[in-house]
Amino acid sequence: MASVNKAIIVGNLGADPELRYTGTGTPVATFNVATTERFKNKSGENQERTDWHTIVLWARLAEVANEYLKKGSSVYIEGRIQTRSYDDKDGIKRYKTEIVGQQMQFLGGRSGGESRGGGGGGGSDYSGGTPAAEPTMPADDDDLPF
């Protein structure tokens, strides 16, 4: 039976993207995106719950994100969920779940009233190519950029 691993996130960046390079020179950007759910509790009071999602982008998509996204930017990310393990400095095995972005769209204009391109406030689409062309996480933990 076929399987599907797809995540779609629309939210705001909590900080500027961090761009690094693997040992082989491949760009990789990481950043966190907040999504907020608004609902009423049993008493009818308005409530909010914010979740933070770690996003990882590779190659040209990483460079584009680093150039155009800033803290507070609204962004649409489409990709796949990936959980990886590593040993921390004390030798304890840790797990990290991330969304490896394959497509990205900027939502809204730049801060400060500027807009991208000629269509004030519209989005811009960027794709990371086909999933088969996307680099995978290096097996050697010493080559990890974070």
User: Per residue in 41-90, pLDDT tens?
Assistant: 999 999 999 999 999 999 999 999 999 999 999 999 999 999 999 999 99
Entry pTM:
0.74
Enumerate residues 6+ apart whose C-beta is below 8 A from 24.
143
pLDDT, tens digit (0-9, with 9 covering 90-100), for 96-143: 999 999 999 999 755 543 333 333 344 566 666 433 334 444 444 455
Of 3.40.1180.10, 2.40.50.140, 3.30.1130.10, 2.170.150.70, which CATH number belongs to 7-38+47-131?
Answer: 2.40.50.140
| Residue 80, pLDDT score | 98
Total number of residues shown for the chain: 146
Q: Tokens 């990890």, residue? A: 144
- Residue indicated by tokens 């996307």: 134
What pLDDT does residue 108 have?
A: 76
